[in-house]
A and B are shown apart, each in its own frame.
Chain A
């Protein structure tokens, strides 16, 4: 494999490009005349706003869970509200049985300590693979496991009541492909992961970005319902490149 050269300058050098933009704008001064309020917020201000969000979420949690369930169902999720761990596992077992899957992949997230699905699914005679790299499980081997799987199970980083979306931040233990490649995806959502709005989400992500010194991970994904297309005669077809069937199990 070719080693990528770092910091190549391809195309036009930045200074030259920016100069032509500036010329088109008919402006000589570099910075914005009025600073953009959002970008000048301090970390303390963001933390303050985040604390307010957290308080609001706590106060409204039952209503938010209802809203999440309602919006997720409108967005195409099959929503199941589980009153306890056993009920959640029971639901996952029934989805597994009905799907006819033989192989299942899941991410390595701490929700699975709370909801131990592996034993239950293995008892059904299914092969369950945790997608977490180590010496035995290379990227390539895990990718092949994901390709063979009939179901992918993940937790949530957030769930958005406004849109009924699951939000995941792929990283170590949370593959980008587990929720994407198998034809069925099951997502486990805990009440503490629920946010009210897009504004809440982006504020919290910004705060984390600044708290971590300008780092917030490589990927963030919103998932709202199954994969869809309407590219032939505007007829909606589900499951074109991603999962056809998606289940959101809300613990609470």
Chain B
């Protein structure tokens, strides 16, 4: 599995906020993806959109509740179509399956279309170690492979890179003259990768859906690299999570309406490819072998927890990233593992362990925007709260997010808030301190207009104001205003 950096979340997010280049890139996400999503949904009525979302959700819920049944049905039908379905409990097992196929079939060159699961498994180094040349062929994935980086978005993996970054990268890695024209750079990738597609022995793809009834793998793409990866080489391996299965081909219709609109604001993508087994004997072209690898890799933990099971409904559109005020400010890398954004803050702790990723569920204002845009109505804020609860209440000390000091503060706060006399006293003390502050030379914890506390001098407030501002106490509290107004009315 790729390096887990979720524990560095606070430092990484603080650094990301200070990076102006990343800020510009993230602004494009909001103005690009989310605006497109809204206008695509506006084309259908809100009632119809709502009906599609409910339909999509119902199909997912049903399938996940009967996952064992549908996986069995899928197995039968993949096999009947002449393909092979392999199950893997974890990343190393999945990688070994692919490596075994590559070794026994004498594979020298592999081309890959975009697959987040293969990022999760960190498959490429395993293949490279046995001497297979691996080429990422989605333009964004190709860029980050050259840069030796990881994706920063579910749909647009290289969005953190500017065109100048990519031009420099191409100059350095491909030895071509610097040219920051985006069209020229795309053409360069086309030329380089075209030869690789034709040369490759093995094509590796992910899957957006797999249809149990027919044993069909479905990929939804725009560039055409997915079609090439699944058409040109002599072997095709599809790799995906076990939750991607849907019952019938007819269930696809609603997902083809939901996913492109939510992901990129398209009515439908340039390509949707549905692959059922290897090429038939009289087909003109296509792979001789078709393998499907389904991975658990922590998903059964999600399945076993009724509170978090619905995270398995996710179709990886990325809409919750694009709308999230936290993602929009810190980008994908700060989350420290493969899956960023609100859904990543639920999925990552479940896949790599809450102990290591306990900061991620905190990275949300719980504003609920992610829940509103989710095409399958996943209640992400509810699950973030559940994870916060689990982490605060964990019997394992190292996993517990709430420290003894925090608990004491919470208890004091509760005391204060439940006693009007204490609260009045505290407000008076606070106001006194706020006034007294003006007489301390060279240091002011307040903003210039006096409305915000920016650097509180003492804990626990100093901890709070490290990354946020706190409103100052007003001249009159609501209680005081109320009482004054009330007495005026009485007179």
Interface residues of A (CB under 8 A from B): 1-2, 4-5, 7-14, 17-18, 20-27, 30-33, 36, 38-39, 71, 74-76, 131-133, 139, 142-143, 147, 163-165, 170-177, 180-181, 197-199, 201-203, 205-206, 209, 214-235, 237, 239-243
Contacts and interface: CB of A to CB of B under 8 A. Distances in A.
Contacts of A175: 284-285
Contacts of B96: 10-11
B61 interface: no
A218 B189 contact: no
24 contacts: A12-B87, A14-B87, A21-B242, A23-B304, A25-B65, A25-B67, A31-B69, A32-B62, A36-B66, A36-B247, A163-B256, A164-B268, A172-B282, A206-B248, A206-B250, A216-B276, A219-B275, A221-B227, A222-B268, A229-B140, A229-B222, A232-B158, A234-B159, A241-B228
A159 to B, nearest CB: 13
Given A20-B300, A232-B185, 17 more contacts: A2-B104, A11-B86, A11-B96, A17-B296, A39-B247, A132-B284, A139-B285, A175-B285, A202-B250, A215-B81, A218-B279, A218-B280, A219-B273, A227-B222, A232-B161, A233-B25, A241-B137
Contacts of A165: 268, 272
Contacts of A215: 81
A21 B68 contact: yes
Residue among B86, B137, B251, B264 having the largest count of chain A Cβ atoms under 10 Å: B86
B241 interface: no
Interface residues of B, number: 104
Contact of B86 (A10, A171, A181): A10
A24 B303 contact: yes
B248 A25 contact: no
A12 B88 contact: yes
Contact of A180 (B224, B280, B304): B224
B340 interface: no
Contact of B183 (A17, A214, A237): A237
A154 to B, nearest CB: 12
Interface stretch (B70-78, B115-123, B394-402): B70-78
Nearest to B253: A198
A30 B223 contact: no
A108 to B, nearest CB: 9
A231 B300 contact: no
Given A230-B32, A233-B162, A24 B300 contact: yes
Contacts of B80: 214
A162 to B, nearest CB: 8
Contacts of B104: 2, 4-5
B8 interface: no
B249 interface: yes
A33 to B, nearest CB: 8
Closest 7 CB pairs of A and B: A242-B224, A231-B140, A241-B224, A222-B272, A198-B253, A17-B87, A24-B303
A234 to B, nearest CB: 4
A218 B193 CA distance: 25
A3 B102 CA distance: 13
Given A39-B213, A198-B253, A216-B276, A231 B158 contact: yes
Interface string B357-369: 0000000000000
Contacts of A30: 68-69, 72
A131 to B, nearest CB: 6
Contact of B274 (A10, A147, A221): A221
A197 B253 contact: yes
B285 A170 contact: yes
Contacts of A14: 72, 75, 85, 87
Contacts of A25: 65, 67-68, 303-304
A142 B197 CA distance: 16
A32 B139 contact: no
A74 B163 contact: no
A218 B274 CA distance: 8
Nearest to B161: A232
B276 A217 contact: yes
Interface in B15-51: 25, 28-29, 32-33
Residue among B157, B190, B277, B304 having the largest count of chain A Cβ atoms under 10 Å: B190
Nearest to A167: B272
A229 B62 contact: no
B276 A11 contact: no
Contacts of A217: 276, 280
A233 B27 CA distance: 10
B248 A237 contact: no
B392 interface: no
Given A74-B267, A176-B227, A218-B283, A232 B276 contact: no
Contacts of B67: 21, 25
B248 A232 contact: no
A112 B183 CA distance: 35
Interface in B254-311: 256-257, 264, 267-280, 282-286, 288-289, 293, 296, 300-301, 303-304
